[in-house]
Structure 1
Amino acid sequence: MVASDIDFITELDRQLFAVDCWPRQMFVDELSQPETRRYIIAELDGAVVGYAGLMCVQPIADIQTIGVLPDFEGRGIGRAMLTELIEESRRRGADDVLLEVSAANPRAQELYLRYGFEQIHQRPRYYRDGSDALIMRLTLRAATGNSPDENKDGK
């Protein structure tokens, strides 16, 4: 992701996350910190269909956001971006990757479980719509490939 993507990504974030979307300045601030941040976009036939971001301050990497346009869900775009963020976490020397996911989003939870994430905590009414946040962790130092094929049992 580069600065010229911010306006489009801000609008996409609003469409995907409604009341929990980030303000434009948040994306500006995140992109201005490449030493601890990595943001990517997914394109299909030249059109942006998803985006994701990571913050890594050793020894923890934190997936900040992942979003895929609904018309493009189920095509492996979210998996590809998650794989890239996990690999970036490894490159940056993280021991663990954390993320928050809405308890009302079982599709995303299933994706994370397939990669070996485990729920370690819950934040009640974390999101503005009143849903809880599930805090999930992937331990990299003990993990192997962390692909869905290698973690079919969710571990």
Structure 2
Amino acid sequence: MIEPATPADVADIAALEAVALAADAWSEALVAQGVTGSLPTVHYLVSRLDESLAGYAVASVAGDVVELQRIAVDPGRRRAGVATALLDEVLALARTHGVERVLLEVREDNAGALAFYADRGFAELARRPRYYRDGTTAVVMELPLSGPPMSVWATS
């Protein structure tokens, strides 16, 4: 089940953020700002399995674009459809807001993520050299949108 994150999810999201993104992880304070609405364009979604956090996604709605900022899945729950379900809800959010495209950045050395997004219709748009703290290049990917929303849980 995918749903909007609540303040009760902040510590778990921040902990998974640290595991999944290491040096590029956001602080618990920044996660809390996004979850509580202090960052008005930002939407946090969570996936729970057995009442524990299985994964989360972060998307920012800005004009005609949704920027997918994060999808992270607990290492013990990978390959179980969690990332796909989170991405589907981000795309539904994008369609609900009437945006034209979804953008994201992926580390060029993350073959699994690059394949995941390519399999779902994302295409490389550009590259950002030395984008990550360790100097790794980011691959900017884009998915043009069309069609009706698949879910309408979010209307804000």
Give TM-score, length-normalised by structure 1: 0.87
Matched-pair identity in %: 31
SS where residue 125 of structure 1 aligns?
Answer: coil
1:128 is aligned to: 133
Post-superposition Cα deviations, 1:119-139, rounded to whole Å, max 9, x if no partner, equal 101011211122111000000
Distance 1:127 1:57 in 2: 22
1:37 aligned partner, one-letter code:
V
User: Which residue of 3, 15, 18 maps to 1:14?
Assistant: 18
Displaced runs of 4+ in structure 1, greater than 2 A? Answer: 33-37, 143-146
SS where residue 112 of structure 2 aligns?
Answer: helix
Matched, 1:37 2:42: yes
Alignment of 1:38-117 (within 5 A): 38-117=43-122
User: Which residue of 28, 36, 48 maps to 2:32?
Assistant: 28
Gaps of 5+ in 2: 151-156
1:44 aligned partner, one-letter code:
L
Q: Is the 8 A contact 1:100 1:135 kept in 2?
A: yes
1:20 aligned partner, one-letter code:
D
Q: Is the 8 A contact 2:33 2:39 kept in 1?
A: no
Cα RMSD (Å): 1.9
Gaps of 5+ in 1: 147-155
Q: Is the 8 A contact 1:39 1:51 kept in 2?
A: yes
SS where residue 115 of structure 2 aligns?
Answer: helix
Residue 66 of structure 1: CA displacement?
0.5
Give TM-score, length-normalised by structure 2: 0.86
Aligned residues between the structures: 145
User: Which residue of 2, 7, 10 maps to 1:3?
Assistant: 7
Distance 1:47 1:5 in 2: 10
Q: Is the 8 A contact 2:58 2:68 kept in 1?
A: yes
Residue 111 of structure 1: CA displacement?
1.0
